[in-house]
Structure 1
Amino acid sequence: MRFDVVSLFPDMFSVVSELGVTGRARKQGVWSIGLWNPRDFTHDAHRTVDDRPYGGGPGMVMLAEPLEDAVRAARAGRADGDSVPVVLMSPTGRRYNQALAEDMARGAGAILVCGRYEGVDQRFIDRCVTDEISMGDFVLSGGEIAALAIIDSVVRLLPGVLNDAESARQDSFNQALTGLLDSPHYTRPECHQGLSVPAELLSGHHSNIAAWRRRQSLALTAARRPDLILAAREAGLLSRADEEFLKGLGGGMA
Structure 2
Amino acid sequence: MEIKDTRRKRELLKLLQRLGIEDVSKINWSLLDLALTHPSISLTHNYEQLEFVGDAVVRLASAELLLETYPELPVGEFAAIRSILVSDRFLAEIALEYGFDLYLLMTPNIKNDKGGRMSRLADTFEAVLGALYQSTKNMDLVRFWLDPILREKAAQVHADPARENYKDALQEWTQGKYKLLPTYKVIQNPNLDNQDERFIAEVWLQDKLLGKGKGATKKASQQAAAQNAFNLVIANP
TM-score, normalised relative to structure 1: 0.22
Considering fraction of residues, name the structure with more strand: 1
Considering fraction of residues, name the structure with more helix: 2
Structure number, greater radius of gyration: 1
TM-score, normalised relative to structure 2: 0.24
